[in-house]
Amino acid sequence: MSTAENHNPAAATTTFAQRLDAVRARIDRACAAAGRDAAEVTLLPVSKTFDAEVIREAVGLGLNRFGENRLQEIAQKAPLLSDCNVQWVVIGHVQTNKAKEVAKYATELQSLDRLALAEALDQRLKAAGRTLDVLVQLKTSPEESKFGLDPAELVGFLETLSGFETLRVKGLMTMAILSDDRAAVRACFKKLRDCRDEAARLNIKGISLERLSMGMSGDLELGIAEGSTEVRVGSALFGQR
Ligand SMILES: *Cc1c(COP(=O)(O)O)cnc(C)c1O
């Protein structure tokens, strides 16, 4: 793990505070362009691959939720930041055998994509006597490499999840196709919103679909244009990985 300054020549000329201001300005501009209130869009800083001292600096600027994609990395950093009241948000693919670590460290999981993981989490959360906020990750792009539930299975999955008392469904998450074609990226975000709107009409008991986590450093404007309530931003804040 290394700091932004080691990797990104551009970042070396700016401070974390300046990059944070710049990202917030992008969010504000995108909200204004979409006729939305900037207070509707949350920034989730994605600190994966950056070390605890960088996160500590971000905490000093008032951030306290951080997105990470590996449980092992959270387990390394959490003890070093035990005085910081950090909330860890898991955004990456989780193996079923890592459910125990999710229950131990995570305040939230945005990458719930299958029943086997929900069952393992439910068991571990019950044992820990706690609940977990979750977003269901949908696969909105045709890329083989992308994780996520098939959108056609969303309603059935939500109906099953409504039976798990430990899992509090708050919305949906997706990663767009990796492409320079902005229309193709935007179509992924539109797909997520359409799936949400359709499922929300069913009013499934105990299921909230208010949150849409979509948009990253390269495409947060497109996510906001399509109704994102949360953008997950790594490199634009922390530097290249
Ligand atoms: C790494 C990651 C991000 C942040 O990506 P950047 O392009 O660095 O902003 C967002 N979401 C997920 C699921 C990620 O793994």
CA–CA separation, 116 and 86 (whole Å)? 28
> At a CB cut-off of 8 Å and minimum separation 6, what does 220 contact?
23, 26, 27, 30, 228, 231, 233
Distance 80 CA to ligand 1 centre (A): 23
Give the pLDDT confidence score for residue 55 in this predicted structure. Answer: 98
Probe residue for ligand 1, chosen from 46, 135, 138, 172 as the CB with the greatest number of ligand atoms within 8 Å: 46
Q: What is the pLDDT of residues 172-215, one digit of tens each?
A: 999 999 999 999 999 999 999 999 999 999 999 999 999 999 99
Confidence check: pLDDT of 4 > 50: no
Q: Band the pLDDT of 143: cuts 50, 70, 90.
A: confident
Q: Is 237 in the pocket of ligand 1 (CB under 6 A)?
A: no
Token couple for 85: 């009241």
Give the pLDDT confidence score for residue 177 in this predicted structure. Answer: 95
- Mean pLDDT value across the chain: 95
Domains annotated for the chain, with CATH where assigned, are 4-235 (3.20.20.10)
Ligand 1, atom nearest to 111 Cα: 13
Give the pLDDT confidence score for residue 8 in this predicted structure. Answer: 54
Instruction: Tell me the Ramachandran region of residue 19: left when phi exceeds 0, alpha when psi lies from -120 to 50, beta otherwise.
Output: alpha
Q: What is the pLDDT of residues 144-163, one digit of tens each?
A: 777 899 999 999 999 999 99
Q: What is the pLDDT of residues 29-40, one digit of tens each?
A: 999 999 999 999
Q: Is 233 in the pocket of ligand 1 (CB under 6 A)?
A: yes
Residues of the chain with pLDDT > 90, as a percent, come to: 91
- Which residue's CA is minimally distant from atom 6 of ligand 1? 234
Give the pLDDT confidence score for residue 12 in this predicted structure. Answer: 60
Distance 197 CA to ligand 1 centre (A): 24
Would you say how long the chain is, in residues?
241
